[in-house]
Amino acid sequence: MRAVLCGILVVCLALVGCAGGGKSDTVKVGWFGPLTGDNALWGQSELNTVKMMFEDFNAKGGIEVGGKKYKLEVIGYDDKGDGTEAVNVAKRLTSQDKVVAVLGPNGSGEAIPVAPIMNEAKVPLIATVATNPKVTVREDGTLNKFMFRDCFIDPYQGAVAATYAYEKLGKRKAAIFMSVDDQYSAGLTQYFEETFTKLGGKVVEKVSFTSGEKEFRAPLTKIKAADPDIIFSPNYYTDVSLSAKQARELGIKCIMMGGDGWPSDNLIPLAGDALEGSYCVNHLDFEDPAVKPFKDAYTAKYKIPPELNGYMVHDAVVMLVDAMQRAKSFDGTKLAEALESCDVQGITGRIKINPATHNPEGKEAAMLKIVGPKLVFVEKFAAK
C-alpha cells in the first residue's frame, strides 16, 4: 500500500484543486452540501474542513504537480439538502466555475442526480457519506465513470446493523421506522431487512413517515403493538431524536439501532435519555488516536469538534491529492483513472478503491453505543 500524507498537516500541504491554471497558478476544487436545513451542521463541518485544509496548503506555498506549484481555491455552494438544487450547483461548478474535481455531497439524494452532469463534464466527484449504491453504479449495472466515494455503502451498512443486532445483541423481532421519501433510509431498510430475515430474525412491523414531519406517534403506535425487541431507525439524527422521545412517551422501551445518519454532537442533546443503550453503525471511532491531530486542529480553529462529515471529507481530500500527484495532471479523465487505483491510508481507515464499483473495499464499521451523554465506541465489526 502506498504511503500517503500521514497526518493533517501533510495532508493539507498536499491539497490541490483542479486546474484553474492560468497566470494565477491557482487550481479550483468544488464543494457542495447542505448549509441550510436540518443537515446544515454536517455540511458546515465539511466546508469548514475543506477551508482549513486549503488554507494550510496555501500557507505552505502549494503543491508541485507536473513540475509547477499551485495554490488552491475552494468554490462551495449550499445544495439545501435537495436533489434539484444539487443539480443546479453541480452545473454551475462544472460549466461556470470550471472546477476539475468536486468534494461532496454527503447525501445520496443529492449525489445520485448529479452523476450525469459529472460524467458529461468529465469532472470527478468524491462523495463523502453518500452510501446508496446508485451513486457510483446505475441500476442497470453500468458504472458512473466520474463518481467515487470514500464511505462504505448501504448494503454493507445494513448488513452490519442486522448481523450485529441478531448475533451480538441476540435480537429476534425487529421493527423498522423509515423515511419513505429518502433514498438513504430506503436503502438501509432494504438491506437490514434482507440480512435480518436471512439470519432467522423476523421484521414484525415496518412503518414510514415523510421528510419534514414532526409528529410520529401514529406509526410508532403500530410499532408498540407489534412488540419488537429492537427498532431499526435508518434516519438522520434530527428525526431519530424526536421519534425516540415520542416512542418513550408512548411506553416503547426497546432499544433502537441506526446507521451513519445518527452520529452528531446534537443527537443526544436533542434526544435526552430516549436513546440510552441504543446502537448505531459509524465509519470511525471518534476517539481513535489516528483522528486526534485533525480533531484537535479543527476544534482549535472552529471552537467545536468536527462532525462525522468533517472526517469523511478530510479523507476525500487525501484521495484527491494522491490522484493529482500520481496523474501529474488536473485533467478530469486522468484524475478519474488515478482515483480508480486509489490505495491510501486515511484517518477513517484504509481506502482502496475497487475500479469496478468506485467504492472502497474492506472498510470495517465502527459500532457505537449511546451511554449517558456520549456515543461510545464498542468494537469494529464486519458483516459476513
User: pLDDT tens, 227-260?
Assistant: 999 999 999 999 999 999 999 999 999 999 999 9
Contacts of 131 (CB under 8 A, 6+ apart): 108, 149, 151, 152, 153, 154, 157, 184, 187, 188, 259, 260
Out of 3.40.50.2300, 1.10.20.10, 3.40.50.1370, 3.40.190.10, the CATH code matching 154-282+365-381 is 3.40.50.2300
Output the CA torsion sign for 228, 230, 233, 238: positive
Please tell me if the domain spanning 8-152+288-352 has the same topology as the one spanning 154-282+365-381: yes
State whether residue 256 is helix, strand or coil: strand
Q: Rounded to an integer, what distance in angstroms lies between the CA atom of residue 325 and that of residue 68?
A: 11
Output the CA torsion sign for 22, 26, 28, 29: positive
Q: Identify the residue whose cell numbers are 509547477.
A: 68
Inter-CA distances, 189 with 158, 172, 194, 235, 330, Å: 7, 16, 9, 10, 39
Output the CA torsion sign for 34, 37, 39, 41: positive
Q: What is the pLDDT of residues 36-60, one digit of tens each?
A: 998 999 999 999 999 999 999 889 9
Residue ranges, the chain, pLDDT below 50: 1-23
Alpha-helical segments (H) within 23-112: 40-59, 83-91, 108-111
Please say whether the beta carbons of 1 and 343 come within 8 A.
yes
Residue count (the chain): 384
Q: Rounded to an integer, what distance in angstroms lies between the CA atom of residue 176 and that of residue 254?
A: 12
DSSP classification of residue 106: S
DSSP classification of residue 168: I
Q: Rounded to an integer, what distance in angstroms lies between the CA atom of residue 253 and that of residue 274?
A: 9
Domains in the chain: boundaries: 8-152+288-352, 154-282+365-381
Q: How many alpha carbons fall within 13 Å on the CB side of residue 322?
A: 26
The dihedrals phi and psi of 376, each to the nearest 5 degrees, come to -105, 130
Task: State the chain's maximal CA–CA distance in angstroms.
Answer: 68
Q: What one-letter code names the amino acid at 203?
A: V
Please name which of 377, 322, 331, 363 lies closest in space to residue 14, comparing C-alpha atoms. 322
State whether residue 328 is helix, strand or coil: coil
Q: What angle do CA 324, 325, 327 make, to 5 degrees?
A: 65
Q: Rounded to an integer, what distance in angstroms lies between the CA atom of residue 354 and that of residue 357?
A: 6
Q: What is the pLDDT, as a whole number, of residue 10? A: 36
Please say whether the beta carbons of 278 and 17 come within 8 A.
no
Q: What is the pLDDT, as a whole number, of residue 57? A: 87
Domain 8-152+288-352 sits in which CATH superfamily?
Response regulator (3.40.50.2300)
Q: What is the pLDDT, as a whole number, of residue 8? A: 38
